[in-house]
């Protein structure tokens, strides 16, 4: 079974396969957007409820292709911790879901959960206005009446008041909507958290370890505009377990499995003092303090279990796979036929131009749907204080199955056995007391032995200047994965010395013969 899965993942990782899936999504997406545009022009001015019914199903036709990729293509799962009564409420009422925004695909996990609950067509977001300009996805959010803000309060206030009242006053019977809202206003990074905590100290607010301070006025205004017609606010907490693949859309396209856990708790609006802006803001601050405690529990235990909510299994639905098959038959099969005819009758120049367009389109697609930008490493981005360094080491020691080093790059090392903890030692023998010295010389001793794969050289390797010439320094750019592979020799002990200044680490082995066998390390730049 495992070997079959590896073969399937290898096929899914092929760029032509990914291009074909992306092509079908783009063509079907533009078609859905065109029908949505026609409905906006023809139906909206005369019958808003009919327009909303039509777009409820048009949205489902589009979003189901994305939930298919997560659920069926990558065989990924979502484990939900929730009171079953709250789950029933969520299926049958207007809802405002307050999510933590830490991952590239957290919005997609929200869509997957909505698909399993049967409420995918009513899913909307509260986001920045630039999202509405993204082709296909952003346009569909616009046509399904998501709320987009410009981050200018006077303008946003009018938008919130108008949109929420218009939506609630004319929404069709037996149809429900749910808003995904990230009150932090942006995705979490350590830099943004640090800046946010400076503001928290000025305002005498409690410090958050895993969140950014929430923006309270938009949340308050939505509840005030709804005037009690949104009966429930849901605290959504999302996290990915240690055995999960990197939670990115590109990872899913390659067929790698992500394991998400979702903590959901309903809060009746009657318990929220939304009529008073100051009290409502204070209530939201307290909620984010609770969110911080919940996420800290996950960091410590790799699960939301133990927080008082039962684990509920949400069965997969076949709607998304049926919809995907529908689009593949309608768009994919004729396109393959036309493509073969093109290869047979076209000139070589036309073929090369076609390949160039496909490559550029693939890169553009991956850039559009990757919500994080590549960050170039600069010296100014290094952590400079002993306190921050100690915090990173504490975080490492709490992680038994995955070692995460956050310096100039995010580096992920996977162990041989998921159940076996590492012993980590820190060496500061070169500490000269300067603020940079602790970051310049950090050494980790990892036991027990781990595997690493040794294919042909995939990136430039620079020999380290030592007398024996047996260690190797590798250039790092973003995330580097050392993939476990049973076919390669075992390193009896590995020491990794990470050097932020040169973006490299040095690898050693105690066994000379095995050291010679393992010369290259397979790396992926994500």
Report the range of poorest mean pLDDT among 48-57, 60-69, 218-227.
Answer: 218-227
Q: What percent of the chain has pLDDT over 90?
A: 36
Long-range (24+ apart) CB contacts under 8 A made by 400-405 are 400/242, 401/242, 401/243, 401/302, 402/242, 403/444, 403/446, 405/498
- What digits encode the pLDDT tens for the residues 260-293? 999 999 999 999 998 888 899 999 999 999 999 9
Question: Can you read off the two tokens belonging to residue 8?
Answer: 């399937």
Q: What is the pLDDT of residue 396?
A: 34
426's CB contacts (< 8 A; 6+ apart) are: 393, 442, 443, 444
0.75 surpassed by pTM? no
Architecture in CATH for domain 12-312: 3-Layer(aba) Sandwich (3.40)
Q: What is the pLDDT of residue 352?
A: 82
Domain ranges of the chain: 12-312, 379-517
Q: How far apart are CA 263 and CA 234, in angstroms?
A: 10
| pLDDT band (50, 70, 90) for residue 365 | low
- What digits encode the pLDDT tens for the residues 441-476? 333 333 333 333 333 333 333 233 333 333 333 333
Q: What is the pLDDT of residue 184?
A: 86
Strand runs labelled E in 13-90:
77-81
Across residues 42-63, what is the average pLDDT? 94
Q: How far apart are CA 118 and CA 194, in angstroms?
A: 39
Q: What is the pLDDT of residue 366?
A: 58
- What digits encode the pLDDT tens for the residues 113-152? 999 999 999 999 998 888 899 999 999 999 999 999 887 7
pLDDT exceeds cutoff 50 at 310: yes
pLDDT exceeds cutoff 50 at 331: yes
| pLDDT band (50, 70, 90) for residue 420 | very low
Across residues 99-113, what is the average pLDDT? 92
Q: What is the pLDDT of residue 300?
A: 92
């Amino acid at each position: 079974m495992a070997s079959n899965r590896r073969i399937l993942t290898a096929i899914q990782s092929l760029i032509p396969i990914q291009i074909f899936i992306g092509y079908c999504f783009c063509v079907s997406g533009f078609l859905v957007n065109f029908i949505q545009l026609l409905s906006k022009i023809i139906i909206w001015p005369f019958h808003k409820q009919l327009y909303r019914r039509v777009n409820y199903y048009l949205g489902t036709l589009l979003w189901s292709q994305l939930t298919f990729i997560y659920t069926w293509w990558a065989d990924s799962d979502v484990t939900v911790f929730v009171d079953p009564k709250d789950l029933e409420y969520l299926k049958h009422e207007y809802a405002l879901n307050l999510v933590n925004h830490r991952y590239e695909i957290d919005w997609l996990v929200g869509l997957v959960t909505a698909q399993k609950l049967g409420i995918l067509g009513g899913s909307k977001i509260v986001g920045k206005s630039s999202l509405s300009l993204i082709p296909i996805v952003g346009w569909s959010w616009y046509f399904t009446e998501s709320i987009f803000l410009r981050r200018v309060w006077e303008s946003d206030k009018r938008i919130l008041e108008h949109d929420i009242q218009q939506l609630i006053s004319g929404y069709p019977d037996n149809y429900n909507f749910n808003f995904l809202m990230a009150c932090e206003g942006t995705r979490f990074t350590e830099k943004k958290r640090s800046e946010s905590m400076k503001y928290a100290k000025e305002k005498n607010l409690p410090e958050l370890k895993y969140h950014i301070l929430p923006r309270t006025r938009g949340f308050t205004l939505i509840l005030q505009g709804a005037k009690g017609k949104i009966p429930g606010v849901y605290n959504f907490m999302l996290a990915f377990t240690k055995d999960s693949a990197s939670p990115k859309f590109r990872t899913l396209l390659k067929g790698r499995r992500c394991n998400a856990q979702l903590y959901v708790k309903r809060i009746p609006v009657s318990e929220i003092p939304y009529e008073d802006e100051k009290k409502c803001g204070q209530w939201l601050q307290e909620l984010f303090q609770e969110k911080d405690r919940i996420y800290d529990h996950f960091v410590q235990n790799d699960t939301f279990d133990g927080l008082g909510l039962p684990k509920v299994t949400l069965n997969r639905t076949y709607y998304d796979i049926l919809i995907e098959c529908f689009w593949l038959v309608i768009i994919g099969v004729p396109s393959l036929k036309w493509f073969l005819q093109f290869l047979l009758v076209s000139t070589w120049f036309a073929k090369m131009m076609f390949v160039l367009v496909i490559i550029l389109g693939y890169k553009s697609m991956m850039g559009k749907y990757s919500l994080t930008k590549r960050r170039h490493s600069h010296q100014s981005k290094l952590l400079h204080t002993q306190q921050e360094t100690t915090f990173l080491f504490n975080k490492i020691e709490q992680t038994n199955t995955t070692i995460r080093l956050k310096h100039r790059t995010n580096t992920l090392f996977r162990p041989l056995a998921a159940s076996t903890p590492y012993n980590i030692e820190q060496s500061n023998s070169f500490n000269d007391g300067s603020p940079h010295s602790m970051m310049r010389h950090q050494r980790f001793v990892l036991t027990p032995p781990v595997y690493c794969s040794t294919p042909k050289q995939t990136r430039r390797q620079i020999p380290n200047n030592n007398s024996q010439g047996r260690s190797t320094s590798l250039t790092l750019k973003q995330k580097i994965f050392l993939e476990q592979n049973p076919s390669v020799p075992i390193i009896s002990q590995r020491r990794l010395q990470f050097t932020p200044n040169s973006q490299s680490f040095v690898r050693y082995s105690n066994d000379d013969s095995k050291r010679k066998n393992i010369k290259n390390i397979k790396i992926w730049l994500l």
